[in-house]
Amino acid sequence: MSTLEPPARVKKPGGFALWLARMQMAHGRKLVIAMPYIWLILLFLLPFLIVFKISLAEMARAIPPYTDLWEWADGQLTLTVNLGNFLQLTDDPLYFEAYLQSLQVAAISTICCLLMGYPLAWAVAHSKPSTRNILLLLVILPSWTSFLIRVYAWMGILKNNGILNNFLLWLGVIDQPLTILHTNLAVYIGIVYAYLPFMVLPIYTALTRIDYSLVEASLDLGARPLKTFFSVIVPLTKGGIIAGSMLVFIPAVGEFVIPELLGGPDSIMIGRVLWQEFFNNRDWPVASAVAIVMLLLLIVPIMWFHKHQQKQMGDHG
């Protein structure tokens, strides 16, 4: 007659082994949390402090071309802070015009990207699963090539004897070439082309997460398709719209390459002013002050977006 033996108990780690396992888990969790903070400190906070330090200095014929904020001499620490660089931004109307035009170009370009990107994201989200990946690949494919090469390609398209003017002349739409290159229109075309994928992808992600039973319920209750779109679909994709707008607006404000190559003398954007101050005038303190003010202008929409995201998460929570 066989007897049933009780199952062997699993020996739990105890003593030093248990303490070591807990320490590894605790330190591993802290390391994972600390990595983003280390990244932000090294690549954002530290460069910001360096630029802010330079903005409080004075221009000098030296390498680097600015004075030190503090100097130790005769056993005393002398601190010299110059706020004249920020005051110069208010005295010269060039800087105000550059800030204003940068914000205007970025805002209009963001609106154009939204008007073009939403239908494109809708078409991709509602396409067949077999072709959806191909359409997404076509959206992001231009980003795989060099940004500078793409801008130079637009120069070849928009110039007086370029592809666009030759095509319009061949069709008989125009009698003489249109002047598009080195105008503000060319800047808008370049920015919209460059940053359109950054608008499409967040909206596409938001569209794929919609509970379409809500859309069907709206239609069953008698709402027209247009009413359903603006009352149901657009609010449900608001997060993607705001995220895409931030991804377009923020880099467009400080854009330098596109206004420099496609724009004309009237395309005075803050990126071109920064380049001239840093490399042509070699006035690093004023250029740093320009960069600090531009950063503060960009922090406002970022904080608003963060506050909106927290409010949205609280509503869903």
DSSP output for 23-49? HHHHHHHHHHHHHHHHHHIIIIIHHHH
pLDDT for res 136: 92
**111-154: pLDDT as tens digits:** 999 999 999 999 999 999 889 999 999 999 988 989 999 999 99
Q: Which two tokens stand for residue 106?
A: 């970025």
pTM of the model: 0.82
List the one residue out of 237, 75, 3 whose CA is nearest residue 245: 237
pLDDT for res 83: 87
pLDDT for res 125: 93
Residue type, 154: W
In this prediction, residue 28 has a pLDDT band, given cuts at 50, 70 and 90, of: low
CA angle 213, 130, 236 (to 5 degrees): 30
Cα–Cα distance list, 167 to 162, 163, 177, 179, 192 (Å): 9, 6, 10, 14, 22
As a whole-number percent, the residues of the chain with pLDDT over 70 amount to 88
Cα dihedral 99, 100, 105, 108, rounded to 10, equals: 140
Q: How far apart are CA 148 and CA 142, in angstroms?
A: 12
| Number of other CB atoms surrounding residue 239 within 10 Å | 19
Tell me the pLDDT of the chain averaged across its residues: 86
Q: Is the pLDDT of residue 105 over 90?
A: yes
pLDDT for res 77: 76
Q: How far apart are CA 290 and CA 262, in angstroms?
A: 23
For the chain, give every domain's residue range. 19-78, 92-282
User: Quick check: helix, strand or coil at residue 71?
Assistant: strand
Q: Is the pLDDT of residue 16 over 80?
A: no
Are 148 and 255 within 8 A, CB to CB?
A: no
pLDDT for res 23: 62
Instruction: For domain 92-282, give its CATH number from 3.30.470.10, 3.40.50.2300, 3.40.50.10700, 1.10.3720.10.
Output: 1.10.3720.10
**238-265: pLDDT as tens digits:** 989 999 999 999 999 999 999 999 998 8
Q: How far apart are CA 194 and CA 251, in angstroms?
A: 11
